[in-house]
Amino acid sequence: MKLKQLESLLGNLQQFDNPKIELEQYPTGAHIASRMLYTAENSFGDVSNKVVADFGCGCGTLGLAATLLDAEHVIGLDVDDESLEIASINAEDLEVEMGLIQCEIKNLRWQGQIVDTVVMNPPFGTRKKGADMEFLSTALKVASQAVYSLHKTTTREHIKRAALRDYGASSAELRYDLPKQYKFHKKKDVDIAVDLWRFVPKPKHESSS
C-alpha cells in the first residue's frame, strides 16, 4: 500500500465525539499515523506478518494502520469504553480485524513474548504526570522487537535517559520521518511539538512480563 493511500484511508476514520480532557484524548492525525506505521514497515519490517499492540488506542488509528499494512494480529488497548466502541466501528468500516481490550496500561499483566511491536500515541502526561512514562515502561516490557511512540519534544532528554537506564531499552533513536516540528492541535492556537521515537527492547529471557 502506498503512503498516500494509507493516509487517505486513515483520514476517513471516525474520531472522538467528546474528547475526555483527563485522558488526554487527542486524535492521532492521519498524516502522522500513516508516516509512523509506514516507517515501521518499510524501514524496519516491524509490521507485516507481526503481532502489533496499540497502547491507548483511542479510536484505533495506529492499530488500524498496522492492519492495513498487513500485520497478522493487532490488539488495541484503552481504558475508555467509548473510544473502544469507535475503534470497533472503524475496524468494521475498513473491513479489518482488530482485537480490543479495555484495561489500564499500567496494570497490564502480559504472558510470554508474543507481541512483536508496540505502537502508541500515549498521553503526554500533561494532565496526569508520568502517564507517558508508564506507557513507555510497559511497552518496553511487552514488545520483543520494537516500540514506536510519540512524545513531547520538550521531554526528549528525559525520555531517552529513562528508556535506556530504567526501562530496558537497548536503543532509543529519533526518527525524522515527520516534519521537524510536528504540531498537535490541542486548542485553536496551542500546538505541541512532538518527536517520533523508535525504541528497541533488550532481549528478554523470562517467560512472563
Partner 1 sequence: MRLLTHNMLSSNIKGVINGFPLLIQAERVVEKQVDFNPDFLKNMFSKIDWKALADASKTMGYDELPDEVPDPSVLDSQEFLQKFHHALLELHLEEGALVCPETGRRFPVNKGIPNMLLHEDEV
Among 51, 52, 64, 66, binds partner 1 (CB under 8 A): 51
Q: Nearer to partner 1 by C-beta: 111 or 157?
A: 111
- Closest separation between CB of residue 191 and partner 1, Å? 33
Among the listed ranges 2-10, 77-85, 121-129, 161-169, the one in contact with partner 1 (CB under 8 A) is 77-85
Q: Nearer to partner 1 by C-beta: 75 or 194?
A: 75
Q: Nearer to partner 1 by C-beta: 116 or 195?
A: 116
Three cell numbers at 29?
492525525
| Spatial separation of the C-alpha atoms in residues 165 and 87, rounded to whole Å | 34
- Residues from 153 through 192 that contact partner 1 (CB under 8 A): none
What's at 160, amino acid-wise?
K
Stated as kind and residue range, the H or E segment containing 77 is strand 73-78
| Spatial separation of the C-alpha atoms in residues 202 and 83, rounded to whole Å | 32
Contact 152, 192 (CB under 8 A): yes
Q: Nearer to partner 1 by C-beta: 48 or 153?
A: 48
Write down the residue that cell numbers 476517513 correspond to.
12
102 part of the interface to partner 1, by CB under 8 A? yes
108 part of the interface to partner 1, by CB under 8 A? yes
- Closest separation between CB of residue 1 and partner 1, Å? 16
3, with CB counted inside 10 A (0-12, 13-18, 19+), is middle
* C-alpha distance from residue 85 to each of 59, 100, 183, 208 (Å): 8, 9, 27, 30
- Closest separation between CB of residue 106 and partner 1, Å? 9
- Per-residue x/- marks for partner 1, 5-44, CB under 8 A? ----------------------------------------
Residues 6 or more apart in contact with residue 85 via CB below 8 angstroms: none
Contact 155, 129 (CB under 8 A): no
66 part of the interface to partner 1, by CB under 8 A? no
- Residues from 113 through 132 that contact partner 1 (CB under 8 A): 113-115
Query: Which residues contact partner 1 (rule: CB under 8 A)?
Result: 49, 51, 72-73, 75, 79, 81, 84, 88, 97, 99-104, 107-115, 208
